[in-house]
């Protein structure tokens, strides 16, 4: 009889255990936030309304607090604040750009400079397991942020000024829950009149951050009065107006055209070639009184002046400057000084014939120039070629970075076949332009509205003999018809969407893929089709007069 009772008790215990396991499983299913999932063995990092400590753990980094200074790893700085922050090994500096700020930090002595201000001294970076940690809390001004350490919860809170924030005072005592349901873990008990920051809110629940850095959910019935803190950083709204620009090319001051009394329908930007890199690494300035008159003429017509700065294809010198931080910085400061001195509205960087290996340092040049111009309210545009081609012509640009950093990236959609070509071909065929625009948008992931399509006001006449190329000559668009002999018939080519001619003359064969109003309008339509930022034209005084009304009507 006793043995029977023992068996019954054992069966009952097994049954109860099964019920308990089932209940625990149900709780986990119905309330996934019931279990304690917090990371408690390291300092937590909360940025605005997000606890990002799990990200640190996954990437084997930490946030350190030492002598009241908060340190973040270089990689975490890249992820959360400035993806282009980097270390210059030669000079032992950390260089960071964020919004309109540029900060340099000497790794060895803690000297820090924000923009062009005075040098201050902060704690030197920490090195832990070969990972560099930056004294973020002493650099918070550069990141428009406030950094607070809460020792009670071992949590660092970073609030940035680039977003609006809503705070609420609690109307009653309440529990901070891990999920939007009552059957979930209580993270903390909150008291009446305690202030919380609202992260997100729906009809019944609010995700909030407490003053101690805890993030969870409270029922909206506990929400009392609210207050808002507006962001001090507002993105400048870009005009919906398309850029309609032309380059005005001249090599010396005495060649600057006198455009007094001239105006061009629809044009809103001009890019004169005022600045050229000279053989000493300095900026040769083609302005003088003629250039100042040109700037005054442009502004009086409502045109912005984005001065072109060319490296004059000085490959070796360009490489030397770009690869040396101090030389690069000196060049940047000179550009900015000239932009201020001559009241320019922007800078158009036109660096060509660079080493493929210098693509990254050219990007650094753009990254470090951009905040200097942005803080002055000046526009930065950068000219680049088609993505595929020769190393020193096409492979020397990181278009993704340039398109991300600069206000505009200008695709110079010409010289599909140029003076270096070994066979005749079009200067700017429609299909070629379209294929490369697809690469800009899809492969390089550049926002279409930041792309300006550069189109040619010229074409080429090709001369061959017995199938061998003899020469190629540039023909301005306005002079095309005078270069076509009587009786030569134009044939429309659907691939290039250009008129094409081919004829024999004195033992030579001549060919021309014609740039005219018809071909230009075909490419111009791509700006609207892709939603591009506008058009730029190379170069002024090669165009027929009626082109300006065509652009204005079709753009």
For residue 350, give both structure tokens. 């036109």
pLDDT tens-digit series, residues 97-125: 998 899 999 999 999 999 989 999 999 99
45 confidence band (pLDDT: 50, 70, 90): very high
What is the average per-residue pLDDT within 514-531?
98
- Evaluate whether 283 touches 333 at the Cβ level (below 8 Å): no
Q: How far is CA 515 from CA 129, 177, 221, 366, 404, in A?
A: 61, 68, 70, 33, 32
- Evaluate whether 499 touches 490 at the Cβ level (below 8 Å): yes
What is the CA 193 to chain-centroid distance, rounded?
43
pLDDT tens-digit series, residues 130-165: 999 999 999 999 999 999 999 999 999 999 998 899
Measured distance CA(520)–CA(548) in Å, rounded: 11
Q: Note if the bond before 112 is cis, omega within 30 degrees.
A: no
| Domain covering 163-229 in this structure, CATH number | 2.30.30.40
E-state strands within 316-373: 346-350
39 confidence band (pLDDT: 50, 70, 90): confident
The dihedrals phi and psi of 503, each to the nearest 5 degrees, come to -155, 160
For residue 341, give both structure tokens. 């001195």
What is the average per-residue pLDDT within 445-460?
98
Measured distance CA(280)–CA(282) in Å, rounded: 5
Q: Where are the domains of the chain?
A: 44-158, 163-229, 236-407, 413-525+543-555
pLDDT in the model for residue 231: 87
pLDDT tens-digit series, residues 49-64: 999 999 999 999 999 9
For residue 315, give both structure tokens. 């490959």
The lowest-confidence range among 3-12, 255-264, 274-283, 375-384 is 3-12
Of 36 and 347, the structure prediction assigns the larger pLDDT to 347
Does this model's pTM top 0.85? My answer is yes
Estimate the share of the chain in helix, then strand, then coil, as percent rounded to the nearest 5. 30, 35, 40
pLDDT in the model for residue 13: 59
- Evaluate whether 179 touches 32 at the Cβ level (below 8 Å): yes
Of 271 and 2, the structure prediction assigns the larger pLDDT to 271
Measured distance CA(146)–CA(301) in Å, rounded: 45
Whether residue 258 is predicted with pLDDT greater than 90 in this model: the reply is yes
For residue 114, give both structure tokens. 């924000």
High-pLDDT (> 90) share of the chain, %: 88
- Evaluate whether 79 touches 52 at the Cβ level (below 8 Å): no
pLDDT in the model for residue 476: 98
Whether residue 15 is predicted with pLDDT greater than 70 in this model: the reply is no
Give the number of residues written for the chain: 555
Mean pLDDT, the chain, integer:
93
Pairing relation of β-strands 131-135 and 69-73? antiparallel
- Evaluate whether 35 touches 28 at the Cβ level (below 8 Å): yes
Alpha-carbon Rg of the chain, whole angstroms?
32
pLDDT in the model for residue 41: 87
pLDDT in the model for residue 542: 98
Half-sphere exposure (Cβ direction) of 125: Cα atoms closer than 13 Å? 23
Measured distance CA(57)–CA(21) in Å, rounded: 31
pLDDT in the model for residue 26: 47
Whether residue 21 is predicted with pLDDT greater than 90 in this model: the reply is no
CATH classification number, 44-158, choose in 3.30.1370.60, 3.30.457.10, 3.10.350.10, 3.30.70.20: 3.30.457.10
Of 37 and 5, the structure prediction assigns the larger pLDDT to 5
The class level of CATH for 236-407 reads alpha beta
E-state strands within 273-417: 275-277, 283-285, 304-310, 346-350, 379-384, 408-412
Measured distance CA(332)–CA(337) in Å, rounded: 9
Measured distance CA(273)–CA(256) in Å, rounded: 9
Q: How far is CA 235 from CA 160, 162, 239, 325, 533, in A?
A: 15, 9, 12, 29, 17
234 confidence band (pLDDT: 50, 70, 90): low
pLDDT tens-digit series, residues 320-333: 999 999 999 999 99
User: In this structure, what DSSP letter does residue 401 have?
Assistant: H
């Amino acid at each position: 009889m006793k043995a029977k009772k023992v068996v019954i008790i054992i069966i009952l215990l097994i049954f109860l255990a099964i019920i308990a396991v089932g209940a625990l499983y149900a709780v986990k299913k119905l309330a996934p936030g019931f279990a304690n999932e917090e990371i408690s063995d390291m300092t937590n990092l909360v940025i605005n309304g997000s606890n990002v400590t799990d990200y640190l753990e996954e990437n084997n980094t930490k946030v350190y607090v030492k002598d009241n200074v908060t340190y973040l790893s270089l990689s975490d700085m890249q992820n959360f604040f400035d993806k282009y922050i980097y270390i210059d090994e030669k000079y032992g500096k950390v260089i960071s750009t964020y919004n309109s700020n540029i900060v340099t930090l000497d790794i060895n002595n803690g000297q820090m400079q924000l923009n062009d201000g005075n040098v201050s001294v902060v704690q030197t970076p920490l090195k832990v397991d070969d990972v560099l940690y930056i004294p973020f809390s002493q650099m918070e001004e550069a990141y428009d942020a406030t950094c607070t350490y809460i020792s009670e919860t071992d949590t660092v809170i970073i609030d940035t000024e680039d977003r609006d924030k809503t705070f609420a005072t609690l109307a009653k005592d309440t529990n901070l829950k891990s999920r939007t349901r009552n059957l979930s873990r209580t993270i903390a008990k909150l008291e009446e009149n305690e202030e919380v920051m609202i992260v997100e809110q729906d009809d019944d629940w609010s995700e909030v951050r407490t003053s101690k850095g805890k993030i969870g959910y409270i029922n909206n019935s506990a929400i009392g009065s609210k207050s808002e803190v507006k962001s001090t950083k507002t993105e400048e709204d870009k005009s919906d107006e398309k850029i309609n620009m032309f380059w005005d090319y001249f090599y010396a001051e005495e060649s600057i055209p006198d455009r007094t009394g001239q105006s061009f329908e629809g044009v809103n930007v001009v890019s004169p070639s005022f600045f050229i890199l000279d053989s000493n690494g300095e900026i040769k300035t083609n302005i003088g009184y003629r250039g100042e008159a040109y700037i005054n003429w442009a502004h009086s017509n409502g045109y912005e002046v984005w001065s072109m700065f060319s490296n004059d294809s000085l490959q070796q010198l360009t490489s030397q400057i770009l690869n040396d931080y101090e030389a690069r910085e000196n060049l940047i400061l000179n550009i900015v000084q000239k932009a201020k001195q001559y009241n320019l509205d922007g800078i158009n960087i036109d660096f060509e014939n660079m080493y493929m290996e210098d693509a990254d340092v050219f990007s650094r040049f753009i990254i470090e120039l951009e905040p200097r111009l942005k803080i002055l309210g000046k526009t930065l545009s950068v000219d680049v070629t088609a993505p595929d081609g020769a190393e020193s012509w096409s492979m020397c640009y990181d278009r993704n970075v340039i398109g991300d950093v600069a206000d505009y990236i200008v695709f110079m959609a010409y010289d599909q076949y140029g003076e270096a070509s070994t066979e005749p071909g079009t200067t700017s065929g429609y299909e070629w332009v379209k294929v490369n625009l697809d690469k800009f948008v899809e492969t390089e992931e550049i926002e279409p509205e930041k792309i300006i399509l550069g189109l040619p006001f010229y074409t080429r006449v090709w001369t061959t003999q017995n199938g061998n190329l003899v020469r190629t000559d540039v023909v301005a668009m306005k002079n095309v018809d005078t270069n076509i002999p009587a009786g030569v018939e134009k044939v429309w080519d659907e691939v290039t969407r250009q008129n094409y001619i081919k004829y024999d003359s004195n033992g030579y064969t001549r060919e021309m893929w014609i740039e005219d109003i018809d071909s230009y309008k075909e490419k111009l339509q791509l700006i609207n089709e892709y939603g591009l930022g506008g058009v730029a034209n190379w170069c002024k005084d090669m165009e027929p007069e009626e082109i300006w009304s065509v652009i204005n009507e079709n753009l």
